[in-house]
Chain A
Amino acid sequence: QPVLTQPPSASGTPGQRVTISCSGTTSNIGRRYVYWYQQFPGRAPILLISLNNKRPSGVPDRFSGSKSGTSASLAISGLRSEDEADYYCAAWDDTLSDLVFGGGTRLTVL
């Protein structure tokens, strides 16, 4: 059972704005940075967002991250077909002393 909670699926049409939520506790998201990863089938994850809302070089500004309290969100604006992938949130957990992930959200572009 993943420590961070994400919806299993999300969908949108091209051009739409989609948000994916990630819920945690005061042991993880509440006091630590949140990271978001994108993963295509059979491939290694790709870092999309670090330190709650920072985009690494090369990540389009259509992707944005935010955090409030013990929850975080990933927003994707101007949805494109190539955004169809699995998305994972992650944060360090001070109680477990582990990095914990959400269960992942499969994004479908209709």
Chain B
Amino acid sequence: QVQLVQSGDEMKKPGASVIVSCKASGYTFTNYGIVWVRQAPGQGLEWVGWISTYNGNTNYAQKLQGRVTMTKDISARTVYMELRSLRSDDTAVYFCARDPDDSDAYEIWGHGTMVTVSS
């Protein structure tokens, strides 16, 4: 079946970097982009950015530009999100979701990866 499987929870110190992965299965990988959405504890949803799995084009949320990088590995059917210079307010569950490219209808989501930033 169509699914996105994310890497495990992470605990990092302020200033460090984290890489979260999202492995796709059950569909043609390059037919859909991948977006990342995060949710701080007890807070709402926040869009982090998008990557085209076809050509690697990216579009990052304004507030995270310069600290976030998304990459893809077609052979591994996996997308990676790296967030650098971590701060306490980056503590959140990070979700990946399948993006149909012609809309923002995210029907397939990963289970979420908790990233905790604490000294």
Chain A positions within 8 Å of B, measured between CB atoms, are: 2, 33, 35, 37, 39, 44-47, 50-51, 56, 88, 90-92, 96-104
Question: Please, which residues of chain B bring their CB within 8 A of the CB of A92?
Answer: 104
**A-B pairs with beta carbons under 8 Å apart, 7 shown:** A33-B103, A44-B95, A46-B109, A50-B104, A98-B62, A100-B47, A103-B44
Number of chain B residues whose Cβ lies closer than 8 Å to a Cβ of chain A: 20
Q: Is the CB of B105 within 8 A of A47?
A: yes
With contacts A44-B111, A44-B112, A45-B95 known, is A101 near B47, CB below 8 A?
yes
Give Cα A45–Cα B37 distance, bound, in whole angstroms: 10
Among A44, A50, A88, A92, which residue has the most Cβ atoms of chain B within 10 A?
Answer: A44
Give Cα A33–Cα B105 distance, bound, in whole angstroms: 10
Question: When the two chains form the complex, which single residue of B45, B95, B105 contacts A104, counting CB atoms closer than 8 Å?
Answer: B45
Chain B proximity of A64: nearest CB distance (Å): 16
Chain B positions within 8 Å of A, measured between CB atoms, are: 35, 37, 44-47, 59, 61-62, 95, 97, 103-107, 109-112
Give Cα A35–Cα B106 distance, bound, in whole angstroms: 9
Q: Is the CB of A96 within 8 A of B95?
A: no
Give Cα A37–Cα B111 distance, bound, in whole angstroms: 15
